[in-house]
Amino acid sequence: MDLPNSAIIWISAFIAYDFFYYWAHRMSHQVNLFWGGHSVHHQSEEYNLSVALRQSSTQTIWTFAFYIPMALVGVHPILLVSVSGFNLLYQFWIHTESINKLPKWFEAVFNTPSHHRVHHARNPKYIDKNHAGTFIVWDKLFGTFKAEEERPIYGITKNLNSWNPVWANMAHYSDMWLDIKSIPKLGDKIRYVFEKPGWLPNYMGGYRAPQEVNTDTYKKFNTNTAAKLNIYVLVQYILLLAGTSMFLFNLDKMHATDKLIFAGVIIFSVVSFGALFENRSWALVMESFRLIFIISAAFYAFVGINTEPLMIILAAALLIVFQIWLMLVRKVPLPVKAQLE
C-alpha cells in the first residue's frame, strides 16, 4: 500500500504511532532485556527537563519492531519520522515538577507532568504505570493508569550510584548476566531474559518485588565536589560540546575510521569527567591522557603536520595550561559519596 500525504493521514499516523509507542514503552518495563535499554531514562533521582534527554544507547534495538505495522500499511518513511519527532517533542515538557495539575479535560485525555511523574517513580504503587506518550487514554484502556497522589521518589529500585555514562548503559545487562549465571536450568535462563525485571524461578525465591522507600533514611546519590573542579569540568564539557557539534555536522564528509575515533573520544571524555566527580583513583591519569590525546588530535586535524612553529608552541602551551589547571583542582578535599541506606 501507499498512503497519500494529507492532513488526515498525518493525524491518523500520529495516533497510530502513539498507540504502538505505548506498547513498546510498556514492554520496555515488563521485559528484562528491553528494560536494559530503557532503564537509563529512569535512573535519574531528579525530575526535570534534562531527564527527557537522558536516553539509552540500546533502546531502539529492542523497540523498532513495534512500528513495523505502520510500514506495512504504507506510511511513508518521512511521515513516520515526522510523527515520531512530534511525539518525542510532546514528551519533553512533561518532565517537570514545575507544573502541578492541568484542567481536568486535559488530564483525562493527554499525558501530563502529573501523570508522567508517576511513571518515573520508584514507589511500588507507582511502578509500571502511565506508559503513554501523548495520549493517557491508552493507559486507561489497558489498565496501567495511576493518578498521582503523594509526590514520587524518583529513580530505579537499584539506583545507579555513578556518574559514568557507559556504566549507566551497561549496569542492568551486568545484573542480568550475574542472575543468568546463578540460574541452574537452561530453560529458566532463557525465560529470565523475557520475564519482567526482578523475576527468578520459584526454587530460587521467586519474584523480587520492589520495596517501599523509607523517606526518613533515603538519600540521593551525590558527590560533594569543590567549585574549582565543577568549573574545570564545565569548561572541558563546553569544549567537548563544540567538538561534538563539529563532528555531527560533518558526518557525511568523514570516513568510518574517523567517525569511530571521534565517537571514542566523546565517550572517553564523558567517562573521564564522571571519574573526576567520583574521585576515582585513576581519574587523574585518565584525564591527563585525554588532554594530551585530544589536543594532539585537534592540532593534527585543523593544522596538519607541516605548520608554523608558532602553532606548535600554542598547542603545547594550551596543553600545559590545562594540565596545570587539572593538578590544581585535584588538590581539593576528597568528595564524600552519599549512599542509599
Q: What is the four-CA torsion angle of 102, 107, 113, 119, rounded to 10 degrees? A: 150
In the block, residue with C-alpha cell 512500528: 67
Its pTM stands at 0.85
- The one-letter amino acid code at 144 reads T
Q: 135-181: per-residue pLDDT in tens? A: 999 999 999 999 999 889 999 999 999 999 999 999 999 999 999 99
Q: Are 133 and 90 in contact (CB under 8 A)?
A: yes
Mean pLDDT of 48-61: 91
What integer pLDDT is reported at residue 319 of this predicted model? 73
What integer pLDDT is reported at residue 258 of this predicted model? 84
Separation between Cα atoms, residue 37 and residue 250, nearest integer Å: 28
Tell me the pLDDT band of 334, cut-offs 50, 70 and 90.
Answer: very low
- Concatenating the DSSP letter of every residue in 258-308 gives HHHHHHHHHHHHHHHHHHHHHT-TTHHHHHHHHHHHHHHHHHHHHT-SS--
% of the chain exceeding 70 in pLDDT: 91
337 vs 267 pLDDT, higher one = 267
Q: Which three cell numbers stand for residue 45?
A: 533521582
Task: Give the burial class of 136: count Cβ atoms within 10 A of its Cβ; 0-12 exposed, 13-18 middle, 19 or more buried.
Answer: buried
Which residues touch 274 (CB under 8 Å, ≥6 apart)?
162, 163, 164, 165
Q: 87-105: per-residue pLDDT in tens? A: 999 999 999 999 999 999 9
Q: Which three cell numbers stand for residue 176?
A: 542480568
Q: 232-282: per-residue pLDDT in tens? A: 999 999 989 988 998 899 889 888 988 898 899 899 999 999 999 988 888
